[in-house]
A and B are shown apart, each in its own frame.
Chain A
Amino acid sequence: MREEIIIAGSGGQGILFAGELLAQAAMNIGKEVSFFPSYGAEIRGGSANCTVVISDKEIGSPVVFNPSSIIILNNFSLNCFLPRLKKGGLLVINSSLVNTEINRQDIEIVRIPASEIAEKKVGNLKTTNLVILGKYLGKKRIIPMENMLKSIKTVLNGEKELISLNSEALQYGYEYPLVVNSVNPDN
């Protein structure tokens, strides 16, 4: 098994946190894993992305040009990373914010109004990252939910309120009805 995921959005959307969480959980179930963040001068507001590689074997490059999955939280990131997604790869998009036309027919597309769910169901817009990560895991099923929840506890190290908030968001995403469009419905 080998999965290369790029998670991308804007700084402050919790992109790096979502990636680190995924890497932590993958490591805990015995996988080889690497996490590589974009890092820039900006703390918030700029673009942010990270690459997570999960594999049964030793990982070569931690930086991947053509990922097998991309999780996209804003329009700008879609333009950057959509052309790089592998043929047959998976695109998970935050349909609350991404309205750009998707002009590829050779990929799987999963849409979830992650910001809306985060704001209305979870009650905190900042959990958008975990909602969409949950959706990705619901589709890919590479890491059992219980391991993800355990990793949230590890990474957040005892911050109870944040742990329960993030766990809830992850589950909302995970259980959100799966609608896969392998052909762009906008066409």
Chain B
Amino acid sequence: MKKIFSRPESLKETQHLYCPGCGHGIIHRIIAEVADELNIREKTIGIAPVGCAVFAYDYWNFDVTEAAHGRPPAVATGIKRVLPNRIVFTYQGDGDLAAIGTAEIIHAANRGEKITVIFVNNAAYGMTGGQMAPTTLIGQKTLTTPFGRNAERDGYPLKICELLSSLEGVVFLERTGVNSPENVLKTKKAIKKAFQNQIGNSGFSLVEVLSQCPVIWRMGPVESCKWIEKVMVKTFPLGVFKDTNRHE
């Protein structure tokens, strides 16, 4: 019998602690598949965030370090600068990357650090129970915006791809989703490209993945996928924001 589907080598055989319907598991698997396909598992060093993906080092089957909340781009810089031939990537949520770690992400991007960033945007703080994230939509209810996010008081959702697209050190920016099979495939293509850019030594690449968070959103998994498609993309449109293809 021909085997057509199996666990990637880069993914450990262990139980995930993610909630039912959560997008993290899909994104973890995509990264693992890409690491296998590009044959970089043995030279990859990942940086796990503080947030729901904090245990990522238990799931991937390659070297992974933790980093303080928001600091993965600085940690990645410290690793990549002394080991320029390794593949270094950060995996960060919206609180980590777009709130507490805004300085680190902007400056790592602006320096054109030759790293890959996977930015998971689910418009809420998951691990701490569902507070407002920098990417929470206007009107969206969270623990700390019980009446809905109010622009007057809370400001506006932070659009990271748009924000980073003006920086010269950045070579690749794409926003994708994991809410449908089609979008999952697109996400894989984007993540693969972001790693290929690093292999080609061309510069800073970031893929922003809109990811469903049914438990915090108080929705069913299917409803969550639909919410991304119908609501979230209005604020966070999918697509390529920058692709200089400098390595070609």
A and B touch in the complex (CB under 8 A): no
